[in-house]
Amino acid sequence: MAIAIMTSSGDYAGMNPAIAHFVNYCLNKDLQTYFIYDRLEGLIDVKIRKASYSLISRIMHLEGTILLSSRSKRFFKFKHRKSAY
C-alpha cells in the first residue's frame, strides 16, 4: 500500500513536525509514503518524491511546510485534472 501526502491551504508552524510524525508512523507500518510538492500543481507536473527517514529527520525545526503550497488555475481545465488523476 502506498500513501501520498499533500498539504492544503497556507503554511503554519506545526506542519513539518506533523508531516514528519505521519511519515514516521507510515514507515514503521511498512507503508510506502510519497510527498506531493506544490499541491495541485505538483499533481499536474508530477512533483512526487518518495519520503524517507533521512528527509523527515531534517524538517522538524523548519517553518511552514517542505511540501510547499500553491494555487492552480490550470486545475480548472479538464485536461490538467485528468493529468493529475
Domains of the chain as residue ranges with CATH: 2-84 (3.40.50.450)
Q: Exposed/middle/buried for 64, CB within 10 Å: 0-12, 13-18, 19+?
A: middle
Q: Which of 62, 49, 70, 68 is nearest to 16 (CA)?
A: 62
CA–CA distance, 32 with 7 (Å, rounded to integer): 18
For residue 10, what pLDDT is reported? Answer: 61
For residue 8, what pLDDT is reported? Answer: 65
CA–CA distance, 46 with 64 (Å, rounded to integer): 22
Q: Are 67 and 5 in contact (CB under 8 A)?
A: yes
For residue 70, what pLDDT is reported? Answer: 64
Confidence band for 69, pLDDT divided at 50, 70 and 90: low
Answer yes or no: pTM beyond 0.95. no
pLDDT per position as a tens digit, 13-60: 678 888 889 899 999 999 999 988 888 888 888 888 999 888 888 887
For residue 26, what pLDDT is reported? Answer: 93
In this structure, the number of other CB atoms found within 10 A of the CB of residue 72 comes to 18
